[in-house]
């Protein structure tokens, strides 16, 4: 979902990060408010006043979204859900969970916490703005407070639309989950509603384009595309978690992986292994069967081509660390999380310093696809997931 993000600060143990795409929102908010909204509401002021108001309003929006996502995170933490943190990006913010809620009640309370916080912020800002205006206070302050209050109420209305993964969609999922006792079915229905809502937004976007509103039209199209894509991906994640839950890595790993000795030359490694097996990472094993490290194609790119015939694999091998190793009895879902977190498609399976096997993303996806086809459920979803991963790998 995100590109490069940067940690701004920590609050209550949660890291608040900002994706570079968030700068687009900041720029649009400051520009539209200082160039159009505030000058129309308060004509006759110096442009610097409007710019300052725009910056303050953007900061108010930033704080509002952080509080919204923080409330999600605090409730999730109370129910034992591991949280990666809060990330602000072009479409707002998200509290990143690494697992599903343990119960419909937890899902409902976690989902409703964010909109409830936004509702309180919105009403409070509008109330304070009314009091300041009645007391004859600064009109700039009134304008900023009123805008922050209104935008929070708009966020509440938008987020409570019952389409997954919006907060309203999570409320719908919690109700269906509690009714049918089936998380997969509840997610499927809520995700379909989210997909339909995404199509509606895209249609509204094209309607705006035809009516001569290109900026608004493109924005609705982007939001609709994001909601539709997020709904599909969220449902795929639930499928994967349910299919892999409780399955150990040992069930999927290749117990006879291709490994290389440390005395091999880099040229031999490239000719006899990289070009033959097309792997980007090879475990390095000595004569006693001990794992001495891992060598990757990225390591090879750092070596001068003229030195390939003289340097050995042992000289260029890097350590097999936490990012690319795993134990055989580890839950397969944790292995998939590690692959996603470290952007790798292969993990070395070890035990007491010895190589036991290699687990690949393809192994896991092939299992998911076969199981979905045998159970005659959601095969299309898993097929689309495999295709997307194959495109990424290519």
Each residue of 303-361: pLDDT tens digit? 898 889 999 999 988 888 888 889 989 988 888 888 877 778 889 998 888 889 999 88
Residue 115 has what pLDDT? 96
Rounded mean pLDDT, 136-154 = 93
d(CA 118, CA 92) in angstroms, rounded, equals: 13
d(CA 364, CA 352) in angstroms, rounded, equals: 24
Rounded mean pLDDT, 158-185 = 93
Lowest-confidence range among 56-60, 226-230, 317-321? Answer: 317-321
DSSP 123: H
d(CA 114, CA 158) in angstroms, rounded, equals: 12
For the cut 60, the answer to whether the pLDDT of residue 8 exceeds it is: yes
More confident residue, 274 or 44: 274
d(CA 230, CA 169) in angstroms, rounded, equals: 12
- Give pLDDT tens digits for 77-116: 999 888 878 888 877 788 888 778 889 999 999 999 999 9
Residue 138 has what pLDDT? 86
Residue 394: pLDDT band (50, 70, 90) is very low
Range with top average pLDDT, 35-44, 78-87, 164-173 = 164-173
For the cut 90, the answer to whether the pLDDT of residue 70 exceeds it is: yes
Residue 389: pLDDT band (50, 70, 90) is low
More confident residue, 8 or 236: 8
* Residue 278, phi then psi, degrees to nearest 5: 65, 30
Rounded mean pLDDT, 361-367 = 85
> What value does the mean pLDDT of the chain take?
87
Residue 383 has what pLDDT? 59
> What residues are labeled active site?
69
Residue 172: pLDDT band (50, 70, 90) is very high
DSSP E strand boundaries for 13-146: 14-19, 83-89, 92-97
d(CA 156, CA 111) in angstroms, rounded, equals: 12
Residue carrying the six token digits 């701004």: 8
d(CA 262, CA 268) in angstroms, rounded, equals: 11
Residue 190 has what pLDDT? 93
pTM here is 0.77
Q: Is the peptide bond before 165 cis (omega within 30 degrees of 0)?
A: yes
Structure tokens at 291: 């794992």
Structure tokens at 213: 């509103």
Please list, in sequence order, all residues whose beta carbon lies within 8 angstroms of the beta carbon of residue 43, skipping any fewer than 6 positions away: none
Residue 385: pLDDT band (50, 70, 90) is low
More confident residue, 264 or 5: 264
Residue 384 has what pLDDT? 59
Residue 154 has what pLDDT? 93
More confident residue, 158 or 90: 158
Domains of the chain (ranges; CATH) run 5-160 (no CATH), 249-393 (3.10.580.10)
Rounded mean pLDDT, 237-254 = 86
Residue 275: pLDDT band (50, 70, 90) is very high
Query: Within 13 Å and on the Cβ side, how many CA atoms surround 264?
Result: 22
């Amino acid at each position: 979902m995100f590109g490069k993000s940067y940690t701004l600060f920590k609050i209550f143990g949660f890291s608040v990060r900002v994706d570079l795409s968030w700068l687009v929102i900041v720029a649009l908010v400051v520009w539209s408010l200082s160039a159009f909204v505030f000058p129309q509401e308060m004509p006759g002021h110096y442009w610097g006043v409007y710019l300052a108001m725009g910056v303050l309003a953007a900061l108010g929006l930033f704080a509002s979204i952080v509080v919204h996502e923080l409330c999600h995170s605090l409730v999730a933490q109370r129910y034992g859900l591991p949280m990666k943190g809060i990330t602000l990006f072009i479409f707002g913010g998200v509290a990143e969970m690494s697992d599903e809620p343990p119960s419909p009640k937890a899902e409902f309370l976690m989902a409703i916490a964010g909109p409830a916080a936004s509702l309180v912020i919105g009403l409070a800002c509008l109330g304070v703005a009314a009091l300041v205006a009645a007391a004859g206070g600064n009109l700039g302050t009134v304008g900023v407070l009123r805008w922050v209050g209104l935008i929070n109420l708009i966020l509440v209305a938008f987020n409570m639309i019952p389409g997954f993964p919006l907060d309203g969609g999570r409320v719908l999922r919690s109700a269906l989950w509690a009714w049918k006792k089936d998380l997969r079915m509840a997610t499927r229905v809520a995700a379909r509603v989210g997909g339909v809502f995404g199509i509606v937004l895209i249609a509204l976007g094209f309607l705006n384009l035809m009516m001569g509103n290109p900026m608004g039209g493109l924005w609705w199209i982007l939001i609709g595309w994001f909601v539709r894509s997020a709904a599909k991906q969220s449902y795929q994640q639930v499928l994967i978690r349910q299919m892999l839950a409780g399955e150990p890595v040992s069930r999927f790993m290749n117990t006879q992986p291709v490994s290389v000795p440390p005395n091999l030359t880099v040229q031999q490694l490239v000719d006899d292994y990289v070009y033959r097996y097309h792997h980007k990472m090879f475990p390095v094993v000595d004569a006693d069967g001990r794992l001495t490290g891992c060598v990757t194609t990225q390591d090879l790119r750092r070596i001068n081509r003229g030195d390939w015939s003289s340097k050995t694999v042992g000289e260029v091998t890097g350590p097999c660390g936490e990012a690319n190793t795993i134990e055989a009895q580890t839950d397969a879902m944790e292995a998939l999380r590690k692959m996603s977190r470290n952007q790798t498609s292969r993990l070395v399976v070890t035990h007491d310093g010895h190589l036991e096997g290699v687990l690949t993303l393809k192994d896991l996806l092939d299992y998911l696809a076969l199981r979905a086809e045998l159970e005659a459920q959601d095969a299309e979803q898993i097929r689309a997931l495999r295709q997307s991963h194959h495109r990424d790998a290519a």
